[in-house]
Amino acid sequence: MPNGYNGKILRVNLSNRSTQVEEQGENFYRTYLGGRGIVAYYLLKELERGVDPLGPDNKVIFAAGLLAGAPVAGACRSSVGAKSPLTGAYGDAEAGGFWAVELKRAGYDAIIIEGQSKKPVYLWIHDGGVEIRDAGHLWGKPTLDVQKVLLKEVEDHRARVAQIGPGGERLVRYACVVHDLHHFAGRTGIGAVMGAKKLRAVVVRGSKLPPMAERDRVKAIARWFADNVQTLSGQFQKYGTGATVSDLNTLGGLPTRNFREGTFERADDLSGETMLNTILVDRRACYACPVRCKRVVEVKGGPYPVSAEYGGAEYETLAALGSNCGIGDLAAVSWANQLCAAHGLDTISTGAAIAFAMECAENGLLSDDQLQGLDLGFGNATAMVQLVQMIGERRGLGDLLAEGVQRAAEAIGGDAARYALHVKGQEVPMHEPRIKHGLGLGYAVSPTGADHVHNLHDTAFAQEGRGLNGVQALGVLEPLPVTDLSPAKVRLFVYRTMWMHAINSISMCLFVPFNYDQVVELVRGVTGWNTTVWELLKVGERTINMMQAFNVREGFGPGDDKLPDRFFTSLPDGMMQGVSINRGTFEKALERYYQMMSWDEDTGAPKDYKLEELGIGWVSDELRKR
């Protein structure tokens, strides 16, 4: 039967250097699909409660999205997960590009990496074969250098590389996994887990895509998107994700100076338009995508000689290392972005950690000893760039900030915790929850800590009913204000969160505006399954429940679903001036969310009957281990 998966999972044990291939049947894939669904399955099923995220008992799971390799925009993504060293909870991050497609071509849907190597290694996976190779000569080198060496060593310039940088080697708690230099599985610190395992890279190459049930159905959608890409994604094509800088500034929700403000006086200097008109030299695409939203930028000369070999800054980076640090110098932000790519650091957490340090410095919380001469006021681009480097190298204050803002605040003491904007230890990404309160709920309940892609679309898009969303299709008929947190909003939030998790497993880029039907049609076309939006939403719900169960097993509970105090105070500026999230309303929304999810309100554990309703009764056994 033709379908989109290989049926093969590669297991690699780095302690004893063994590898084995495991098979999973069709129903496994139909239940968990791919990406986060498969990552969550293995992490919940195979990790012992309480393992050290940076010890040999943690596992790193790479899983391609179900559709990876289908010749259609957006269907190219994979997730990589582990118990997070940043949060101690379930962790994963996703990236686009080409790597997942190549993994599929090589014959695998996922890789489970166990144990810990004594010496640096990399994996070379090619058409079913696997080698664990020495990486001693790569250790400590920037990602660009390693990328080049690896392609030479495997003697195939079309191989694809997922690697960590020196930041991951040094266990920066928010180290990322860099895919082919341009695509970043940024969050939750999986790069540090690989670093702890001494695994520098996973290089893949294959020659055979898994069969597809009905190629024509997939192609028809791809063609529709290509034909209409100007209308559907023209902004992204032209400006990249940086288009969002101006949009959010207008809406009063551009994170500025550690979220103290919602507008930035130099927003225009960071915008996608400015990038286009100044430093942009090219655009890049992910597999099969006509949008080409990825930026390639170059800065010649000056203090920030940005190379075109790394990619340009995305919106999150422009805000995190730019406006949120009070910095409007696009060259400096692009340089900091390149440093993050070279070191393998998550730009969101890096920027957030620096903004946190700036506010601490402003409030006199950092000692001279900690500052070592750094002038850490908001807006100081030189200091920001220095700190990125220091974090990557774990030097001085950088070593402290490499622990993430939660741990850094504890170490600094005093009022520092007030400026540490995180949920469950993960730094808040660059979306201001006071301008879309549902997102605040999303930050609080996200199993990975504050995250913007688990529920990004719950409010802003939902109002408009456009593209990917059209929540009327799910029976949500009345528009809801962005500041609403009524039960009606929680309901919308539940549905949308289910969908966003499903979208991850399916492997679909958030920026490709396929509607529910089109996503269903793609899954059908690739797999031949007679699936529906019901089944896919339930896959999403299943995934959230596995993530939640993982966290409950680790001792997390409803008390950890918190939002930083700052978001309960009023925005001082911009279109939403005076708006805050009401704490009482927020607490009620949290309660409603737990109820609607059928999660125990005291422990957070999914109820047995919900797990049974989702066809994952086995999760109850894992919950009993808590």
Which residues would be at the binding site for its own copies (CB under 8 A)?
Answer: 27, 30-31, 470, 472-478, 487-488, 490-491, 494, 515-517, 529-535, 537-539, 592, 595-596, 598, 607, 609-610, 612-613, 615, 617
Nearer to its own copies, 23 or 477 (CB): 477
Beta carbons within 8 Å of 169's beta carbon, 6+ residues apart: 120, 139, 140, 195, 200
Q: Residue 58 in contact with residue 77, Cβ under 8 Å?
A: no
Nearer to its own copies, 237 or 518 (CB): 518
H helices of 432-486, in order, are 437-445, 460-464
Nearer to its own copies, 277 or 477 (CB): 477
* Closest approach of its own copies to the CB of residue 559, in Å: 20
Nearer to its own copies, 31 or 426 (CB): 31
| Largest interatomic CA distance in the chain | 67
User: Running DSSP on this structure, what letter comes out for residue 372?
Assistant: T
* Closest approach of its own copies to the CB of residue 474, in Å: 5
* Closest approach of its own copies to the CB of residue 346, in Å: 34
* Closest approach of its own copies to the CB of residue 53, in Å: 32
Report the C-alpha gap between 340 and 332 in whole angstroms: 12
* Closest approach of its own copies to the CB of residue 592, in Å: 6
* Closest approach of its own copies to the CB of residue 49, in Å: 25
Nearer to its own copies, 52 or 621 (CB): 621
* Closest approach of its own copies to the CB of residue 221, in Å: 16
Beta carbons within 8 Å of 152's beta carbon, 6+ residues apart: none
Report the C-alpha gap between 290 and 230 in whole angstroms: 10
* Phi, psi angles (nearest 5°) of residue 444: -65, -45
Q: How many residues does the chain have?
A: 626
State whether the Cα torsion 333-338-342-348 is positive or negative.
positive
User: Running DSSP on this structure, what letter comes out for residue 327?
Assistant: -
Residues 470-482: b if buried by 16+ CB within 10 A, e if exposed? bbeebebeeebeb
Nearer to its own copies, 372 or 620 (CB): 620
* Closest approach of its own copies to the CB of residue 485, in Å: 12
Burial (CB count <10 Å: 0-12, 13-18, 19+), residue 466: exposed
Nearer to its own copies, 281 or 609 (CB): 609
* Closest approach of its own copies to the CB of residue 209, in Å: 25
Nearer to its own copies, 236 or 594 (CB): 594
* Closest approach of its own copies to the CB of residue 188, in Å: 28
Residues 211-244: b if buried by 16+ CB within 10 A, e if exposed? ebbeeebbbebbeebbeebeebbebbbbbbbbbb
Nearer to its own copies, 411 or 488 (CB): 488
Nearer to its own copies, 127 or 618 (CB): 618
Nearer to its own copies, 98 or 529 (CB): 529
Report the C-alpha gap between 337 and 321 in whole angstroms: 8
Beta carbons within 8 Å of 314's beta carbon, 6+ residues apart: 240, 241, 242, 295, 347
Q: Any idea which residue has 């800065």 for tokens? A: 299
State whether the Cα torsion 348-354-355-357 is positive or negative.
positive
Q: Which amino acid is at 344?
A: G
* Closest approach of its own copies to the CB of residue 494, in Å: 7
Q: Residue 573 in contact with residue 263, Cβ under 8 Å?
A: yes
Residues 365-397: b if buried by 16+ CB within 10 A, e if exposed? bbeeebbeebebebebbebbbbbbebbbbbebb
Q: Which amino acid is at 176?
A: C
Among 479, 502, 351, smallest CA distance to 427 is for 351
- What value does the CA radius of gyration of the chain take, rounded to a whole number of Å? 22
Among 491, 441, 433, 501, smallest CA distance to 462 is for 491
* Closest approach of its own copies to the CB of residue 447, in Å: 20
Report the C-alpha gap between 224 and 535 in whole angstroms: 25
Nearer to its own copies, 28 or 139 (CB): 28
Nearer to its own copies, 578 or 617 (CB): 617
* Closest approach of its own copies to the CB of residue 585, in Å: 14
Nearer to its own copies, 407 or 524 (CB): 524
* Closest approach of its own copies to the CB of residue 542, in Å: 8
Q: Residue 599 in contact with residue 605, Cβ under 8 Å?
A: yes
